[in-house]
Amino acid sequence: MATSTFDLNRERVVAVAAELFARHGYHGTGIAELGKAVGLGRGALYHYIESKEALLYAISRTQVDRMNAHAEQALASALSPEELLHEMARGLLRNIAEHRAEWAVFFRDYSALTGERRDKVIAARERYEGYWRQALDRGVASGALRPAPPLLVKGILGMLNYTYLWFEPDGELSPEELADEYVDLLLRGIRVSS
């Protein structure tokens, strides 16, 4: 399916907004600055966006939706409980490495969203946490993992999510290798001993 010129231009506006918001913060970036960066006047810019908050919503929601789709696919697969955790972590760190600006914006600024937009992003984030809980519960049900406290999911995601602050995809480890290191460390603590 061919992508329209409108869609391509809108994607470019969203991508540039993510870079600017990541660099200067959502509140520190003005519409005039965004227009200049994408080479569009105010009127032309508003042809592609509804508002600055709509940009923040698009940036935030896109990444969480991608991760929910990945988690749903992983959970639907026939992976063992341990491999499921590895795959979910690999997908998250791969996405963070490929979309660092967007994740910086999400983690720092999603709380600037209001009303229904904020509610939808929070619900999508909670759904993602729920998929991690399902993965852990699957391991417990199989007898491979010990029961873990509910807050463990927040701890796991905190460990993975905040790599956006320091991880360099061209560094010593790939996103997948770092994810495996983290999950292996986690599994040593919750795996049922033989």
pLDDT tens, 65-98?
999 999 999 999 999 999 999 999 999 999 999 9
Look up the domain containing 84 and give its range.
53-188
Specify the pLDDT at position 134. 97
CATH number, position 134: 1.10.357.10
Assigned domain for 29 exists: no
pLDDT single digits (tens) 125-155: 999 999 999 999 999 999 999 998 989 999 9
| pTM assigned to the model | 0.91
Residues 33, 71: contact at Cβ < 8 Å?
A: no
Question: What's the average model confidence in pLDDT over 40-50?
Answer: 88
Q: Percent of the chain having pLDDT more than 90?
A: 84
Phi, psi of 125 (to 5 degrees): -65, -45
What is the rounded CA–CA span in Å between residue 89 and residue 74? 11
Assigned domain for 98 exists: yes
What is the rounded CA–CA span in Å between residue 99 and residue 11? 13
